[in-house]
Each structure stands twice: as structure tokens, then as C-alpha cells.
Amino acid sequence: MSARYDFASDNTAPAAPEAIEALVAANTGFTSGYGTDPVSARAGDLIRQMLDADAEVRFVASGTAANAISVAALCRPFEAVLAHDHAHICTDETGAPGFFGQGVGLIRLGGASGRIDPAELTVALAQPDISHRQSPATLSLTNATEYGTLYSVDQLAALTQPVKAKGYGVHLDGARLANAAAAGFDLKQIKSLGVDILVVGGTKAGMAPTEAVVIFDRALARRFDARLKQGGQLPSKGRFYAAPFIGMLESGAFLRHAAHANAMARQLADAMPFRITHPVEANAVFVEMDEERLSALHSAGWFVYRFLDGSVRFMCSWATTEETVQEIGQVLQKLA
């Protein structure tokens, strides 16, 4: 029996038709390269409109590159990034922040369900600068978090305000920003929170591989293209990274598909016979499941991951159907 990856990750879903149609539409004629083309300009305008903010916008191939290059622009090599202990930059990017930042470090903070505990941030910010360790220069946040939970605008403000008071930078990893927005997070408040660089996730939202780097602090945009080029993230045919955003944003599919994924996660949670370990606020469901039952689920043809905290993660995507939720729900009921 071949494994099914419907709930393994929102990365395993195909690209949405709106994204593919925009790619096909962009595949005509000749145009300038390296992100200077009209397609990239249009996609950038749509993102600025969505955020109601003036900003520089660039398109890269992966979330890892987007995050690592962004924090490298906010830190010097002898400085560090404050981030949740289970943030993607800390657990899944193979040291990329340090690679792109020529030694930039990570300071890990705790907090329930992927959200940084403000008390831990306060302690970290109070540490004296000494020459024998990397002091913080940037805070990295994730919304929706790695555990599918959401920060409210007020919760984010409580974290960004003391950081900005120190003169430090703020990076927001929005790999699942569409899911956060569909759940009620106001995207137009992001700039006012003091975010310097935002990553708008495209891949997990249903696009072909692409992420948008939004630079609110225009001083950081100086020579940013050179930084991208050095990092192998300034593609000559840049319009093909930008085009999916046009299709998804002009049609409304960016939020519509995310709302669907969130709804499928709620349906799966309602059908779930195993104890749910984190609030279901976006498109993820985390459950308590022993190794025997997880192996049995794999043997039944469904592949899902055991996550960092030991729970088992089920991810829904734009392409998840009610029938598929019912199908895996029946299998889980038998296992339980």
C-alpha cells in the first residue's frame, strides 16, 4: 500500500489552480529579468495593498531562504536572534540563519503552544552585553505558529514593543500567514507592530514554490538584491516566483483557500478520538498518540509526523476535502 500524505503537511498538496493559471499567463513574451519585470511589480503592488503598507517586496524560492536572509539583514554576525524554541529557524533550517548571517546566533525562548512567553523575553532582554556571547539584536515571531496557534495583535505588540524600545529588529515568519488572516488576524496591523521584515508564505498557501519578503524598513532594502544574489535567491526569471501571488490575491483565493484549510482542521478535530494537545486555531491538529497506534496509522496507508513536543501532527491544506477528513476519521476511530 502506497502511503498517503494528505495530512502530513500543507506542503504535500498540489498547487492551487489560481496559482497555476497565473503562472501560465506569465509565460508569454519577453520581459526583463531578476525581478524587474511587470509581473513582479504587479505582485508587489497586490501584497502592499493586502498589508495596506508601503514596502519593498522580493520573491524567493523557499521559506528557509526567506527567513534566513531576512534575519541576516537584521543582525550582525556577532549578534543573535530571539525566537521560540520550536520556531522553524531553530529546528528545521539546518543553521541557515547562521550561514546567511555569517555566524548569526539563535537564542531560544519557551512558551506554550508555539507562542513566546513574554516573561522569558523580558529575562532575555535584561541580560547584559558581554563579549563572550552573542547578544540579541532581533526578535523572530511566527504567525500562525508551528503548533497552529495564533498570536493576536495585542499579544504580538506585547512582544515587539520592548524589543523596539531596545532598538532591535523584528522579523515575522508568515509561512502560514494566510491561515492566520483567515482566522481573524488583521494583516494591516503588521507594520504598526514594528515588524521590519515580513515573510508572506506562498508555498503552504497553495502556490508553486514561492515566498514574498516584505521589507517595511526601506533602509534595509539598500543592496538587498545583492544579498539575494549572493544567496542564490535572485532568479533571472523572477516573474515565475511572483506570478502565483497575482493569481491567488486577485481572485481572493489566498484567504479563501486558507479559510477552507482551517475549516477542515476544525472538522478533523471534531472527529478526532485522540486527545488534542494544542488549541486548533488555524489548519493544524496535534494529538496525543502512542507509537503503536502511530505505526498502525502508517500501516493503514496514512503518513503523519510525530512533532517536536512528542505529539502527532495532522495538517490540512487548501486541497483537503470533507470526504478525506471523514475517511481518515474512520481509520482513527478504529485505531482508538
Residue 5 lies in a domain: no
The residue among 208, 229, 249, 234 whose CA lies nearest residue 49 is 249
Judge if 280 and 152 occupy the same domain: no
Longest dimension (CA), the chain: 58
**Alpha-carbon dihedral angle through residues 181, 182, 184, 186, given to the nearest 10 degrees:** 30
31: amino acid identity, one letter: T
Classify residue 150 by burial, with Cβ atoms within 10 Å: 0-12, 13-18, 19+: buried
Residue 282 lies in a domain: yes
Judge if 310 and 224 occupy the same domain: no
CATH number, domain with residue 292: 3.90.1150.10
pLDDT computed for residue 317 by the predictor: 98
pLDDT computed for residue 2 by the predictor: 81
Per-residue pLDDT tens digits of the chain, which is 336 residues long: 688 999 999 999 999 999 999 999 999 999 999 999 999 999 999 999 999 999 999 999 999 999 999 999 999 999 999 999 999 999 999 999 999 999 999 999 999 999 999 999 999 999 999 999 999 999 999 999 999 999 999 999 999 999 999 999 999 999 999 999 999 999 999 999 999 999 999 999 999 999 999 999 999 999 999 999 999 999 999 999 999 999 999 999 999 999 999 999 999 999 999 999 999 999 999 999 999 999 999 999 999 999 999 999 999 999 999 999 999 999 999 999
CATH number, domain with residue 170: 3.40.640.10
Judge if 326 and 211 occupy the same domain: no
Domain end residue (candidates: 250, 282, 312):
250
Question: Taking the chain, what is the end-to-end CA distance rounded to the nearest angstrom?
Answer: 21
Say how many residues make up the chain: 336
Judge if 237 and 265 occupy the same domain: no
- Please give the distance of CA 68 from its chain centroid, rounded to a whole number: 12
Residue range(s) defining the domain that contains residue 283: 253-335
Q: How many domains does the chain have?
A: 2
Domain end residue (candidates: 199, 226, 250):
250
Judge if 191 and 72 occupy the same domain: yes
pLDDT computed for residue 1 by the predictor: 63
Instruction: Count other C-beta atoms under 10 Å from residue 45's C-beta.
Output: 13
pLDDT computed for residue 74 by the predictor: 98
pTM exceeds 0.85: yes
Cell of 147: 503548533
Residue 280 lies in a domain: yes
Residue 112 lies in a domain: yes
**Alpha-carbon dihedral angle through residues 73, 75, 80, 82, given to the nearest 10 degrees:** -60
Cell of 333: 476511530
Judge if 129 and 31 occupy the same domain: yes
Residue 12 lies in a domain: no
Judge if 282 and 181 occupy the same domain: no
Judge if 47 and 162 occupy the same domain: yes
The residue among 43, 82, 334 whose CA lies nearest residue 213 is 43
Judge if 224 and 295 occupy the same domain: no
Residue 2 lies in a domain: no
Q: What is the 3-state secondary structure (H, E, C) of the chain?
A: CCCECCCCCCCCCCCCHHHHHHHHHHCCCCCCCCCCCHHHHHHHHHHHHHHCCCCEEEEECCHHHHHHHHHHHHCCCCEEEEEECCCHHHHCCCCHHHHHCCCCEEEEECCHHHCCCHHHHHHHHHCCCCCCCCEEEEEEEECCCCCCCCCCHHHHHHHHHHHHHCCCEEEEEECCHHHHHHCCCCHHHCHHHCCCEEEEECCCCCCCCCEEEEECCHHHHCCHHHHHHHCCCCCCCCHHHHHHHHHHHHCCHHHHHHHHHHHHHHHHHHHCCCCECCCCCCCEEEECCCHHHHHHHHHCCECCEECCCCCEEEECCCCCCHHHHHHHHHHHHHHC
Classify residue 66 by burial, with Cβ atoms within 10 Å: 0-12, 13-18, 19+: buried
Judge if 272 and 123 occupy the same domain: no
The residue among 294, 332, 300, 331 whose CA lies nearest residue 2 is 300
Judge if 239 and 313 occupy the same domain: no
Residue 7 lies in a domain: no
Distant-in-sequence, close-in-space partners of 112: CB < 8 Å, separation ≥ 6: none
CA distance 215 to 234: 16
Domain end residue (candidates: 193, 226, 250):
250
Judge if 260 and 282 occupy the same domain: yes
C-alpha distances out from residue 88 to 8, 179, 202, Å = 16, 17, 16
Residue 324 lies in a domain: yes
